[in-house]
Amino acid sequence: MAFDFLVPVEDRVMAHCELLPAQSLGKNCYIHTEKDGLPVLANATMAIVGVKESRNAFEKKLEVLDVSAIRIQLYRLMLGNWDSTLVDMGDIEEGNTVEDTYFVVKEVVAGLLEENIIPIVIGATQDITYPAYRAFDGIKDMINLVAVDSRFDFGIDDDLISSHSYMSKIITDKPNNLFNFSNIGYQSYFNAQEEADLMERLFFDAHRLGEIANDLTLAEPVLRNAHMVSMDVRAIKASELCASANFSPNGFTGREICAIARYAGLSDSLRAFGIYEMENNVQSQQLVAQIIWYFMEGVNFRIPESPYSKTDDFTKYMVPNEMEEFVFYKSLLTERWWMQVPSIFSSHTKGDAMALLPCTEQDYLDACDQKIPERWYKAYKKGFE
């Protein structure tokens, strides 16, 4: 079984946990230890998995990721008013080859998905997103992937997979289970025009750093439809992390990235969360721990709802347009919005998962002004591909 490859959490983390107050996370999770072995997964909601593989890093890593230091910062945080159960599965060490590591990541994540447990992958490099994505094979047909990243990561060589080109591998590899890819926080000067053109051709969604930073709520509908989120810590400004030259002076603030993580957790579609590319310094470790805490809080406050399941809880809006009639739904409980995309019902599509598309109130107002919402148009076109 793939879980047999997991290395127990280090003794120094367990020694630190002994000194923590009863209300801390470290005292309220089940941890894979040398003494007690793997925790029982029954009733578990989320599971932490560390991945130390870094051989495919675009910028070579000078040291091994210290996942234990991140754990120490996470476990000292206080438990929220939550009813979920967290387990810590330990770490995946580097295999004999990178492919060996990928295989173990895929199997471990798949095993957790089959148990309906949300993996929280703490990885040294973002190429680990690829085996985590492949873990959905045979579990879910079509995947919506969201990357919180300053780059699109398509790279320039389809045959090479690195932390800057893993998306090319996801797009081209068979079976092709990627339904939609969305980027949150890209910075134009880091991305070649060819990459931006590819995003357009494939009707993928891209949201600039400034757009999201000016209104964080724009990230919510993007994340609401995600099955998997891959967060690159390099999307955060360097000063927030005391980070090295591989980080940018521009990026999300600590508050903004934590809000985005919470939106990700709130998405009842989300099955897997990964955070990558952090460095071994205390400020970085503290922020990563807080990002995970906010993600966990989001998961705990999920409100599963769909306009198709309980129509009494929604207001339906019909907006006539020259092209066709737009249909919007607004939740009376959460005030979240959805819009219907007719092309998704077409026989040309691989499924009806996108028939209801999360959106914003502004999309509804645009439709009222006879403007076609961009996210509606992209989903409409994608449905006939």
For the chain, the 3-state helix, strand and coil shares in percent, each to the nearest 5, are 40, 20, 40
**206/332 Cα distance (integer angstroms):** 29
β-partners of residue 358 are 338
Q: Could you tell me the pTM of the whole model?
A: 0.93
Query: How far lies 151's CA from each of 26, 127, 260, in Å?
Result: 34, 13, 17
> What average pLDDT does this structure show over 137-158?
88
Query: How far lies 103's CA from each of 58, 128, 232, 249, 385, in Å?
Result: 20, 10, 21, 35, 31
pLDDT of residue 312: 84
Both structure tokens of 221: 């509908």
Q: In this model, does residue 353 exceed pLDDT 50?
A: no
Q: In this model, does residue 1 exceed pLDDT 80?
A: no
pLDDT of residue 30: 97
C-alpha of 381 from chain center: 25
Q: In this model, does residue 57 exceed pLDDT 90?
A: no
Average pLDDT of every residue of the chain = 91
* Greater pLDDT, 230 or 376: 230
pLDDT of residue 25: 97
pLDDT of residue 345: 44
286: confidence class by pLDDT, cuts 50, 70, 90: very high
Share of the chain above pLDDT 70, in %: 94
Q: In this model, does residue 214 exceed pLDDT 50?
A: yes
> With contact defined as beta carbons under 8 Å apart, do 337 and 330 qualify?
yes
The pLDDT tens digits for 215-239 are: 999 999 999 999 999 999 999 999 9
Spell out the CATH class of 2-300.
Answer: alpha beta
> With contact defined as beta carbons under 8 Å apart, do 129 and 226 qualify?
no
The pLDDT tens digits for 310-351 are: 778 999 999 998 877 899 999 999 999 999 987 554 433 444
Where are the domain boundaries for CATH 3.40.800.10 in the chain?
2-300
160: confidence class by pLDDT, cuts 50, 70, 90: low
